[in-house]
């Protein structure tokens, strides 16, 4: 059951009435605003040229009844070991969005850990337990990487190889990549594929920072639009941290070694 409640203060026209009888499909994913007294979740979305504010019953597809974001903890796994890493700075900025959404967040700086290349014959290696536990205990994860040779970094791949379904299955993940050159889209695509093989729930929104050295000054990201994309990524992982997981992916079914 879905009812229109009103409209947000935008230039878009207000539509009132029942959303189904108005002949408009509910735009998903909605942006959660708050639960109301009768147990509905207030959400907003854009359908056609109109912005809608509506209430969605909790059993509606993809909507959970847990909208308390205060307990959501996000870890941001950084795939660069460079001291002045733009990836790390961008992840820190994304976590500002996480905190603005009511969550908590920290960057996992892999320079602080001894994480040898994964040897599957060994139960633990170096600090692998500590890294893996931090990922497992997080409610949502940001994966940040530099573009290396047309893909994401080996540092991040190794960290992901140390993890498995216990850390990622059903978990909400946001992706971010930086590049010295053009848009690091392949790095993001490749990370998305890995996340599918681990049955993670990856946000549609992702942050790509091309020509990255020109996008930062001492204070932070200089391009307002890019800064917004990065902060929204951190916000979205909180908003969708408790989304109902999708059915297991085909790729995850083929990921036969991960559970060993
Ligand atoms: C081994 C290596 C490979 C790289 N390959 C690419 C590439 O394919 N495309 C690109 O745009 N930049 C490439 N770069 C540049 C990095 O993406 C860029 O320096 C980025 O800022 C590194 O991220 P960081 O600042 O977080 O360390 C490469 C850098 C290194 C060290």
The pLDDT score that the predictor gives to residue 15 is 36
At residue 255 the predicted structure's pLDDT band, cuts being 50, 70 and 90, is very high
Q: Which of 80, 148, 182 to mutate to test the pocket of ligand 1 (most atoms within 8 A of CB)?
A: 148
pLDDT digits (tens, 9 = 90+) for 165-193: 999 999 999 999 999 999 999 999 999 99
Q: Whose CA is nearest to atom 29 of ligand 1?
A: 148
Task: Tell how far the Cα of 248 is from the centroid of ligand 1, in angstroms.
Answer: 33
User: Which residue's alpha carbon is at the smallest distance from atom 11 of ligand 1?
Assistant: 181
Contacts of 256 (CB under 8 A, 6+ apart): none
- Domains of the chain, residue spans: 2-56, 73-254
Most ligand 1 atoms within 8 A of CB, residue of 146, 183, 185, 208 to mutate: 146
At 71-100, the pLDDT tens digits run: 899 999 999 999 999 999 999 999 999 999
Half-sphere exposure of 81 (CA within 13 A, CB side): 13
pLDDT tens, residue by residue, 42-77: 455 555 555 555 554 444 434 343 455 668 999 999
How far, in Å, CA of 226 to CA of 189, rounded?
Answer: 19
Q: What is the dotted CATH code of the domain comprising 73-254?
A: 3.40.50.360
CA separation for the pair 6, 2 (Å, rounded): 13
| CA of residue 93 to ligand 1 center, whole Å | 20
Q: Can you read off the two tokens belonging to residue 141?
A: 């994860």
pTM of the predicted model as reported, rounded to 2 decimal places: 0.78
Q: Name the more confident of 134 and 1.
A: 134
Q: What is the pLDDT of residue 260?
A: 62
Instruction: Tell me the pLDDT band of 25, cut-offs 50, 70 and 90.
Output: very low
The residue whose CA has the least distance to atom 30 of ligand 1 is: 148
Residue-wise pLDDT for 192-241, tens only, equals: 999 999 999 999 999 999 999 999 999 999 999 999 999 999 999 999 99
214 vs 26, 209, 210, CA distance in Å?
A: 40, 10, 9
Percent above pLDDT 70 for the chain: 72
Return d(Cα 103, Cα 69) in angstroms, integer: 6
Kindly state the tokens that stand for 15.
């539509």
Model confidence over 111-130: pLDDT tens digits? 999 999 999 999 999 999 99
């Amino acid at each position: 059951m879905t009812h229109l409640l009103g409209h947000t203060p935008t230039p878009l026209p207000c539509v009132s009435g029942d959303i189904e009888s108005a002949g408009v499909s509910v735009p998903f994913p909605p942006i959660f605003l708050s639960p109301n007294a009768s147990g509905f979740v207030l959400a907003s979305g854009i359908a056609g040229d109109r912005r809608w504010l509506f209430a969605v019953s909790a059993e509606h597809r993809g909507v959970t009844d847990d909208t308390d974001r205060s307990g959501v903890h996000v870890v941001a796994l950084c795939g660069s070991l460079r001291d002045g890493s733009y990836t790390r700075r961008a992840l820190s900025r994304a976590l500002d969005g996480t905190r603005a959404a009511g969550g908590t967040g920290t960057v996992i700086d892999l320079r602080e850990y001894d994480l040898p290349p994964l040897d599957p014959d060994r139960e633990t290696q170096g600090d692998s337990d500590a890294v893996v536990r931090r990922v497992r205990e997080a409610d949502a994860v940001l994966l940040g990487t530099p573009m290396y040779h047309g893909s994401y970094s080996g540092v991040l791949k190794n960290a992901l190889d140390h993890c498995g379904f216990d850390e990622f299955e059903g978990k909400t993940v946001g992706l971010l990549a930086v590049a010295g050159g053009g848009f690091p889209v392949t790095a993001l695509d490749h990370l998305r594929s890995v996340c599918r093989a681990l049955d993670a729930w990856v946000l549609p929104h992702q942050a790509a920072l091309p020509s990255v050295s020109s996008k930062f000054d001492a204070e932070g990201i200089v391009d307002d639009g890019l800064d917004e994309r990065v902060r929204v990524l951190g916000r979205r992982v909180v908003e969708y941290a408790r989304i109902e997981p999708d059915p297991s992916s085909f790729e995850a079914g083929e990921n036969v070694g991960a559970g060993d």
